[in-house]
Amino acid sequence: MKTAEAARDWLCNPDSGVSAHYVLGYDGTCWQLVTEEMRAWHAGLGAWGSVEEVNSRSIGIEIANTGDEPFPEPQMAALELLLSGILARWSIPPERVIGHACMAPGRKIDPGPLFDWARLVSKGLAVSADPAAPGDFHDDARRFGYRCAPEQQAALLKSFRDRFRPGADGPLCDADRAMMAGLAARWPAA
């Protein structure tokens, strides 16, 4: 969508078949579209850890962004405030804060490589990857929470790197394996 308002309006249109609990505009405006107690249809088909149907067990936040631009300060500040309230209200630990690309690598690509995950980590609203002894990347990814078919391995690597190793490219390497091993050991998905 070209604007946050257009995204909001589409998510409110019954013909769209999609919805979200919240939409955040570039200027930090936050629209609540669905109450947190209700199911929204933001995730589509996707899984995380033992949760096979993410829509039923999540609160969806859509953040207006094209994917190739930085997220502006007012938007990030609004996200921090919103996220801290949601985590407190529902006793959600920071390791359960994921992007759409985490629960459906390849099919979903947001929030993308320019999203400031480190900022959320610094506020205790998300987790970071602390390297451990490199292990089997795909087994550790499953232990951490990623669910991917074998043909989605390239999408998994991109999703992981966008979040935990921004700017990294090339084939799977020991740095990737070490980071994923650390995540799997420290933050095993529930």
Q: What is the pLDDT of residues 69-110, one digit of tens each?
A: 999 999 999 999 999 999 999 999 999 999 999 999 988 989
pLDDT band at 67 (very low <50, low <70, confident <90, very high): confident
pLDDT band at 43 (very low <50, low <70, confident <90, very high): confident
Helix-strand-coil percent breakdown of the chain, rounded to 5?
A: 45, 5, 50
pLDDT surpasses 70 at 190: no
Tokens of 143: 């232990």
Q: So where are the chain's domains?
A: 4-186
How far is Cα 67 from Cα 106, in angstroms, rounded to an integer?
A: 14
Angle, nearest 10°, between helix axes 153-164 and 174-186? 80
Tokens of 15: 């013909």
What predicted TM-score, i.e. pTM, was given to this entire model?
Answer: 0.93
Q: What is the pLDDT of residues 122-180, one digit of tens each?
A: 999 999 989 999 999 999 999 999 998 888 899 999 999 999 999 999 999 999 999 99
Tokens of 119: 């900022």
Residues with catalytic function: 62
Domain 4-186 matching CATH 3.40.50.1820: the answer reads: no
